[in-house]
Amino acid sequence: MRHLKRTNKLGRKGDHRNAMLANLVCSLIKHKRVTTTVPKAKAARSVAEKLVTLGKRGTLHDRRLAAARLHQEDAVRTLFADIAPTFKDRPGGYTRIIRLNQRQGDAAQLAILEWVEEFAAPEPKKKKTGAKEEEKK
């Protein structure tokens, strides 16, 4: 019986589906906005929001759980350093889905998955100027 099993299978086996959703969420973390189909966006939204909740708690255990789900350490670092602190006062609903037109080839309904709030990118670290560089000037 499938009681309380609400996973959208997306026409894929479990490992393939988990890898695809992890890659989609990593792209969302890196690029702040992803264009995909509506069913994939709805499935990725669930994963992304659970990961932001882990990031808000911010313990080492939560970081390891997120790394196990995403498989990309740089995405986990960005999630915990930039994205999760932005949503610290928000109780949920971190993403939005905006429906677009249909895709030309297969008429699939497209959508944009993006974060609800804007957040500033971290500033690049400046090199320390040493005494030698000051003497050259």
Decide if pLDDT at 21 tops 90: yes
Q: How far is CA 27 from CA 5, 21, 33, 48, 104, in A?
A: 26, 10, 8, 11, 23
61-76: average pLDDT: 98
CA distance 114 to 28: 7
* All structural domains of the chain with their residue ranges: 14-118
Decide if pLDDT at 121 tops 80: no
CA dihedral 75, 33, 49, 46 (to 10 degrees): -110
| Reported confidence tier of residue 125, pLDDT bands at 50, 70, 90 | low
Residue 83 has what pLDDT? 96
Percentage of residues in the chain having pLDDT higher than 70:
87
Q: Which CATH superfamily is domain 14-118 in?
A: Ribosomal protein L17 (3.90.1030.10)
| Reported confidence tier of residue 127, pLDDT bands at 50, 70, 90 | low
- Smallest CA-to-CA distance from 51 within 70, 72, 33, 71 is with 70
Residue 18 has what pLDDT? 97
What DSSP line would sit under 26-47, residue for residue?
HHHHHHSEEEEEHHHHHHHHHH
Q: Which of 1-5, 42-46, 56-60, 87-91 has the lowest mean pLDDT?
A: 1-5
